[in-house]
């Protein structure tokens, strides 16, 4: 498969494995990562020790602040538009997911960010309506 980066548009993605993570495709230019949901699920199922829903206390190290790229992205696998999903009401970071083939894209440093936040085990839940609704409710409560 010759996937092109949805950010750089012309750069070919390279098959990789995230540090202690699933098989994926990485852009050598921007550092973004494409993961198939079945690869993620297999990895998560075989790694019960990964963090999930851990409360985060403290400051993020500057090297893991999200390198979020704005704008619409198209899935490198099937070319459908990808939808953005917030990970938290307090951190400006979105994961992009294809609603057609369910691959997801993480901009540079977002895998490390989720790791530092203890949220690597939460990726499918981040894509859920309940997770997104909770973020909107917390944002509205904080705005008052």
**Per-residue pLDDT tens for 23-58?**
999 999 999 999 999 999 999 998 876 655 544 434
Instruction: Say how many domains are in the chain.
Output: 1
**76: its two tokens:** 């490198």
Burial label for 112, CB within 10 Å (0-12, 13-18, 19+), is buried
Whether the pLDDT of residue 128 is over 60: the answer is: yes
Looking at residue 57, what is its pLDDT?
39
Average pLDDT over residues 65-89: 86
Looking at residue 81, what is its pLDDT?
97
Average pLDDT over residues 53-64: 45
Q: Is residue 5 part of a domain?
A: no
Looking at residue 142, what is its pLDDT?
79
Q: Is residue 31 part of a domain?
A: yes
- Quick: pLDDT tens for 4-22: 999 999 999 999 977 678 9
Q: Is residue 8 part of a domain?
A: no
Q: Is residue 75 part of a domain?
A: yes
Whole-angstrom Cα distance, residue 138 to residue 42? Answer: 32
Q: Which residue has the higher pLDDT, 93 or 52?
A: 93
Q: Is residue 3 part of a domain?
A: no
Q: Is residue 1 part of a domain?
A: no
Which structural domain range is residue 135 located in? 14-143
């Amino acid at each position: 498969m010759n996937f092109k980066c949805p950010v750089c548009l012309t750069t070919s993605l390279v098959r990789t494995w995230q540090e202690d993570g699933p098989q994926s495709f990485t852009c050598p230019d921007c550092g973004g990562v494409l993961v198939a949901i079945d690869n993620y699920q297999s990895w998560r199922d075989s790694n019960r020790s990964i963090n999930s829903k851990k409360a985060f206390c403290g400051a993020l190290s500057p090297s893991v602040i999200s390198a979020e790229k704005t704008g619409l992205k198209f899935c490198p696998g099937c070319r459908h538009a990808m939808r953005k999903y917030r990970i938290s009401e307090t951190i400006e970071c979105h994961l992009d997911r294809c609603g057609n083939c369910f691959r997801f894209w993480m901009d540079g440093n977002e895998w490390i960010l989720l790791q530092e936040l203890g949220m690597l085990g939460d990726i499918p839940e981040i894509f859920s309506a309940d997770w997104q609704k909770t973020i909107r409710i917390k944002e509205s409560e904080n705005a008052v």
